[in-house]
Each structure stands twice: as C-alpha cells, then as structure tokens.
C-alpha cells in the first residue's frame, strides 16, 4: 500500500499520519477545518523537532516526513488511496456521512477503516455499497508511541481485507491483536473494572482516592492509579466510554457507570485539562494523603484485580479474542504489569474464584458473579498457560 488516507486532523489523526509518513507512505490528511489542519501541521513540526533534538531522526528525515503528508480539505484528494483510516468524532451519523461520501471517491479496492474505540464496525460499514472492505483499526493515544493496535473485522469484512490490514499495521512495527466486533473491543471492555470497582470502593467509603491509587501502584504494581489515570484521560471522556459500553451491553450490571464520576463530570472536574478532577492540580495541598495500610491495600488490589481477571476470562469465554491477544492487549495497550490471564494462573484460578465468590455472596449482584469458564477450569484443574 503506497497511499494512505487519514480523515480527521485531531490528535489521533495526525499521530497516525506521522506513523504512516515515517514508514515512507504518501499520506493524505483530510479535515474540513482549515484551522485544525494548520494547527496539526504545526504540532507535528514541534514533535519532529523534539525527535531531531533527541537525535532520533535527522534533519532530512524530518523534512521528508512533512513533505510526504498532504494536508487537505478536499475529499477528492483521497481518490488514489489504498486505505483510508477515519479518526473523527465518535458519532455514528457523522461517520455514516463521511463513509458515504468517501465511497464515491475511492476505488473499489480501497480498504475503508475506522479508528473508533467504542462503535460497532458492522454498523459503520452498513451504509457502504461494498461493506466487505470495512474494518476497525484502533490505535491508542499517543499513536506514534503506544505499541498496540486492535484490528476488528466486522461480520461483513472480507478475509483478504483483514490480512492486508494486519500486514500493513505490523509493517509499522505495531503489536497487532485481532478481536471480535463487540462493545469496547478488548481493552476498553476488559479495563472497565479498573475504574468501576475503584469508584465503587470509594463510594462504599472503604478508601479515598489517594489510598486506592497508592494500593494499585505500590502493592498492585500498576504504573498509574485509577483516579490519577481517569484525571489524565479526562473524566468526561472516561465517563462517556463507560456509558457507551454499558448501553451497548444491554445495561449489564458489570459495566454500570458510577454516580461519583457522573457528578464530577457534571461539575466540570474533568481532570488535568480542567485543573481539577479527583485531585486538585491548582492547589495540591488540598489533596489528601494515602492511608498506607498494608491490609487495606491488599484488599483493594485483590478486589479490583479479581474483577479485571473475571472480565478477561469472560472475553475468552465469549470468543472476543485469543488468550495471548487479550494478555498482549492489556500489557501493551494500557501497560498493566502482567497479562491478566497469566496473572490469574500465578495467583491460582481457585483463589481468584474464591475471591469473586466472597464478593458475590456478600453483595448478591451479578457484577461479581464468577465467569462460567473460570468455574469450569477450576473444576477441571486446568490453567490458561
């Protein structure tokens, strides 16, 4: 594939364009907002300058990367593209408009991809006359740095399109995982308890934000605590994804959103970008100190971790992805200290089952129900690896 089209010149779009250009493709970056295109070009120049200063690229390479990208507002510029990756707002109606217009411009052999993180690929492709060319290619932010890319074939996707898409992304030195076209794909599905159960622990007044973050980083080994991470992502963004996944799973209680997060979003406490979220970034003296209680910390880690493991097991049970791809996704996509299924083996599946059963017996809520596959594996005395 020589010519790569990108639709949307936001952070994700310019990131994907940078990757494609650095891999010596001709890139056509489309956005209907001229000011956004100029801003994206300026941002890319700054990124490349930093890479040059760190001796990661040469001056000639910097020039070549910029020269290979055509910044355009004309959709006809994409006519000779071999693949076009859409990276615009998460709105199905707007995506439908874009893909209808795009299909009139590109050749019948052009692959049409979406970088959506939460919408159905089948639904996005439903407006196409040749829906067999649709596929999901989900990068993680920042795209040039994060190694993981989820590849999601829709029910309409031709096998040859899947192969070509995987080969292209692998040629960009990305870690590719393939998953079913289900809500949240792998990462945004399996990771929900990292946020949801942390919020639940806080709402039950078991521990405050700082203590939960301390437990998950110092005892659990996670690079970032859940509240620090939600502040980094943006409370509004994280809450929107939670609501989307909850609705998409027909209101399954495992994905139930938190009133705490809703209220913080409503108050404009969005995290770092607004100066205040679960923590105050304008006056850090207002942030409480963690209660470094080892017993409490172990309880917090075990509770959140067993919920994450249960969700990873459910993804295997429902055929969302392979055991290896699920573990790859969680280590490469969100930097978990270990693959959750490998971690489950190390802890012992029987112990994981016991932890979940205690929660389920206490609360009587389906969100804590141990997965049938976990029960079966414990009964059969088998492990994931």
Q: Which residues are catalytic?
A: 117, 138, 150, 188
What is the spatial distance between Cα 128 and Cα 42, in angstroms, rounded to a whole number?
34
> For residue 112, which of 16, 13, 7 has the smallest C-alpha distance?
7
What's the CA angle centered on 303, arms 301 and 309, to 5 degrees? 95
> For residue 368, which of 296, 301, 297, 311 has the smallest C-alpha distance?
311
Residues 6+ apart with CB under 8 A from 276: 268, 269, 270, 282
Helix, strand, coil percentages (3-state) for the chain, rounded to 5, are 55, 10, 35
> For residue 340, which of 358, 354, 323, 320 has the smallest C-alpha distance?
323
Check if the beta carbon of residue 224 is closer than 8 Å to that of residue 97: no
DSSP code, position 6: E
Phi, psi angle pair for 50, to nearest 5°: -65, -40
Here the tokens at position 136 are 């999901």
> Tokens 């959140």, residue?
304
What's the CA angle centered on 66, arms 62 and 70, to 5 degrees? 170
What is the spatial distance between Cα 196 and Cα 304, in angstroms, rounded to a whole number?
9
> Tokens 């939600």, residue?
230
The alpha carbon of 38 is separated from its chain's Cα centroid by a whole number of angstroms, namely: 27
């Amino acid at each position: 594939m020589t010519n790569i089209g990108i639709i949307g010149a936001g952070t994700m779009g310019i990131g994907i364009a940078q990757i494609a250009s650095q891999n010596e493709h001709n890139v056509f970056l489309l956005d209907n907002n001229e000011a956004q295109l100029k801003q994206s070009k300026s941002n890319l120049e700054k990124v490349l300058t930093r890479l040059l200063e760190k001796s990661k690229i040469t001056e000639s390479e910097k020039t070549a990367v910029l020269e290979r990208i055509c910044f355009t507002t004309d959709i006809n510029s994409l006519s000779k593209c071999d693949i076009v990756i859409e990276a615009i707002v998460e709105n199905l109606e707007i995506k439908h408009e874009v893909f209808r217009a795009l299909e009139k411009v590109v050749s019948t052999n052009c692959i049409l991809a979406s970088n959506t993180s939460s919408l159905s690929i089948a639904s996005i492709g439903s407006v196409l006359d040749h829906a067999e060319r649709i596929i999901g290619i989900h990068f993680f932010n920042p795209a040039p740095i994060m190694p993981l890319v989820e590849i999601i074939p829709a029910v309409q996707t031709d096998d040859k399109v899947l192969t070509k898409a995987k080969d292209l992304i692998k040629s960009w030195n990305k870690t590719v995982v393939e998953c079913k076209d289900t809500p949240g794909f792998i990462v945004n599905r399996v990771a929900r308890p990292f946020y949801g159960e942390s919020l639940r622990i806080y709402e039950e007044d078991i521990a405050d934000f700082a203590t939960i973050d301390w437990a998950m980083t110092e005892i659990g080994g996670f690079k970032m605590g859940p509240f620090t991470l939600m502040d980094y992502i943006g409370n509004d963004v994280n809450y929107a994804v939670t609501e989307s996944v909850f609705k998409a799973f027909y209101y399954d209680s495992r994905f139930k959103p938190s009133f705490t997060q809703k209220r913080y979003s409503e108050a404009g406490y969005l995290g770092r970008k607004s100066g205040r979220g679960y923590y105050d970034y304008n006056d850090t003296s207002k942030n409480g100190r963690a209660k470094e209680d080892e017993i409490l910390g172990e309880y917090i880690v075990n509770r959140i971790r067993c919920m994450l493991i249960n969700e990873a097991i459910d993804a295997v049970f429902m055929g969302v992805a392979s055991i290896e791809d699920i573990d790859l996704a969680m280590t490469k996509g969100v930097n978990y200290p270990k693959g959750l299924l490998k971690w489950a083996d190390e802890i012992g599946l029987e112990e994981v089952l016991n932890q979940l059963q205690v929660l389920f017996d206490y609360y009587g809520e389906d969100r804590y129900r141990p997965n049938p596959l976990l029960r079966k594996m414990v009964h059969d005395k088998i492990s994931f690896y």
